Structure 1
């Protein structure tokens, strides 16, 4: 299938660019696989921690669509505005976050920015001190998943505020 068969030629209301493909419709098996990984990753993790990780990764990846979605979800779950504002600068505002949350955020930074030097033993060890092996594996899967969602949203031109799940 050619790109012209996948996308429409209608301009976007905000950018004037052609509307990009709907990934869920164009690759339903791949889309369902990411949803399955996302659901498996979240199992047993604190929902607040899940949102903090997703917000942080979305900050780092400059994904406005996912950032809007996950800050909205976090607010609905009772997260404070104060903490939401501090996620972007968590290293300078550690007193807003528990040690466990800080370890998860450090791991999120390292995995999301893996090309900038990998995941140090210090960062990995800090996370391993707060999460047992199954939890740590699910935390890693969560980080992998949000990075995938960020890339899907950015590559397909998802617009912040539309929350098209």
Structure 2
């Protein structure tokens, strides 16, 4: 079920059809809802891996803030639903918990980048999340093959407002 959900979220975003997910997984909707009572439960299960990967990567001393933003961009290009889910975090405590984990990972790297003089002093984790959301909104409308190039071009415009 998670594999089918990951695929549909990647192509259709956070609003992917749960019926289509169940069908692809080869189960009935009742079975899907027994395991995941709502869309958010399913999304949290699917994207918890993304957040765990981000946290582990951000914890590595050699990983820079740029590296962490690159990983988030890769995750966004692979599935725009990941950022859609973070944007919906005001509505649900489970999503807020995911957003808090992402924000904490960014904050840790931002502190080091600020100490090293790599970023403008005014940049916050909120600014970084906004930049990621902007890139995600752009790539969400693009065909999958052109998403990476579009994300790279958007970051080329955004980086000067973040990094020195």
- TM-score normalised over the length of structure 2: 0.29
Larger relative contact order (C-alpha < 8 A, sep ≥ 6)? Answer: 1
- TM-score normalised over the length of structure 1: 0.29
